[in-house]
Amino acid sequence: MASIRVLLDGQATTGAFIASPNFPQYSFAWLRDGAYCALAMDAVGETTSSEAFHRWAADAVERQRDRILDVVNRLRAGEDPEPRLMLPTRYTLSGMPESDGADSWPNFQLDGYGTWLFALHTHLAGADAGAFRAAAELAAEYLAASWAMPCYDYWEEFGDRRHTSTVASIAAGLQAAAHMLDRPDLADTADAVLAFIRESCVSGGRFVKGPSDSRLDASLVSLATPFRLVDHDDPVMVATIEGIRTTLASPSGGIRRYLGDTYYGGNPWLLLTAWLGWHDRLAGNADGHAHAVDWVRGRQAADGGLAEQTLHEPQDASAVQPWIDRWGPVADPLLWSHAKYLLMQSDVEDAAWS
């Protein structure tokens, strides 16, 4: 399958998945993107690839040991560390932190570390952390200490806020670490994070972008798929999914990030449409799943490539060209899009969570 080849071709010899090989701004490795790539490779039986990614990620985290311990100690002492002291969201393919560039691109997010722990536990299929123990402990301690901090969201925006999808990834990562490390205290912290989501991140009967933002965000699908923090038939989750389907869908049925998005015009994203299709398959919505498969396939390049987003259904048409002038055409292929396309059609085993 073309998507498997794209992921394999986009995986460095170190094990890192480059976000996009043809888009200079995405020439780094995000833990979040890579974790989903690893989940997809596990789903299709390419476990050597996923193992290589997890070893790369574990090495990258262990290199940050002193930084992690410093941050954890500061937080436990009641200090409020500056964002520059926190772990980066992007790494070079060799596993070194990528510093903020000249374009002042934010580099403090927490979601990737939680998503990595979740994907690692899934990869290990219920076994304990084994050779990954040291890195998993570091990542878990970092998240347990910092989960309540404002940080940039999935989309590198709104760094002064807390975000539902981010704290959901942290809860999922802490649950995974509790299993892998036999640490009930981490499960207790995950429960506290989930309580925060239920108490502060629901408005109008739906999960919302964050405590201070009542908009929907397509990344909220993650609460159920794949994190399983809530059931697919949970009434709040059902309302959230239907809200995403009705308010974030473009006229053709592709899914946008959120209302008001202006990045390259705020078009529908292939990975988000596939993500909703993945959820629909697991929730038993055959029609929704079939629509997502057809929509994504209809936007697949002749060589099998899947881009980040289309450019034909913008929310703000005036914002398209300025981004092209600034950064060039949209990322194509985007490895995360290929990962979600694979996951939409085949799922990892549930052994880790049984």
Asked if residue 60 lies in contact with residue 133, where contact means CB atoms within 8 angstroms, the answer is: no
pLDDT higher than threshold 50 for residue 242: yes
Beta bridge pairs of residue 206: 203
The residue annotated as part of the active site, out of 153, 213, 217, 280, is 153
Place of tokens 């299929």: 125
How far is the C-alpha of 104 from the C-alpha of 107, rounded, in Å?
Answer: 9
Where does the chain have alpha helices with state H? 2-9, 31-43, 47-63, 65-76, 111-123, 133-146, 164-181, 184-200, 235-247, 270-283, 286-297, 320-327, 335-345
Q: How many CA atoms lie within 13 A of 128 on its CB side?
A: 8
62, 98, 156, 332: which is the annotated catalytic residue? 156
Query: For the chain, first and last CA: distance in Å?
Result: 29
Q: Is 153 a catalytic residue?
A: yes
Per the CB < 8 A criterion, the answer to whether 315 and 262 are in contact is yes
Annotated active-site residue 156? The verdict is yes
Beta bridge partners of 248: none
DSSP helix/strand/coil, 328: coil
Q: Are strands 90-91 and 206-207 parallel, antiparallel or unpaired?
A: unpaired
pLDDT at 102: 43
297: helix, strand or coil = helix
pLDDT at 63 exceeding the cut of 80:
yes
Given the residues 46, 217, 280, 308, select the one marked as catalytic: 308
Q: Summarize pLDDT for 105-137 with one digit per residue, the tens.
A: 788 999 999 999 999 999 999 789 999 999 999
- What is the average pLDDT across 31-39? 98
The string of pLDDT tens digits covering residues 161-218 is 999 999 999 999 999 999 999 999 999 999 999 999 999 999 999 999 999 999 999 9
User: pLDDT at residue 35 above 60?
Assistant: yes
Distance CA 217, CA 238 (A): 14
CB contact at 8 A, 43 and 346: yes
Residue 303 identity: D
Q: How far is the CA of 33 from the CAs of 52, 76, 79, 324, in angstroms?
A: 15, 30, 30, 23
Measured CA angle at 38 (ends 145, 97), to 5 deg: 50
Structure tokens at 228: 């399983």
pTM of the model: 0.97
pLDDT at 353: 42
Smallest CA-to-CA distance from 183 within 219, 138, 213, 215 is with: 138
Mean pLDDT across the stretch 132-155? Answer: 98
Mean pLDDT, all residues of the chain: 95
- Cis ω before 24 (30° cut-off from 0): no
Q: What is the pLDDT of residues 273-320, one digit of tens each?
A: 999 999 999 999 999 999 999 999 999 999 999 999 999 999 999 999
pLDDT tens for 314-339 read 999 999 999 999 999 999 999 999 99
For helices 270-283 and 335-345, angle between their N-to-C axes, nearest 10 degrees: 20
Nearest to 154 by CA among 242, 39, 275, 253: 275
* Residue 353 CB neighbours (<10 A): 16
Beta carbons of 36 and 336 less than 8 angstroms apart: yes
* Residue 38: closest CA among 118, 108, 144: 118
Number of residues assigned to the chain: 354
Question: How many other C-beta atoms are found inside a 10 Å radius of the C-beta of residue 78?
Answer: 6
Q: What tens digit of pLDDT does each residue of 93-107 get? A: 999 998 744 456 788
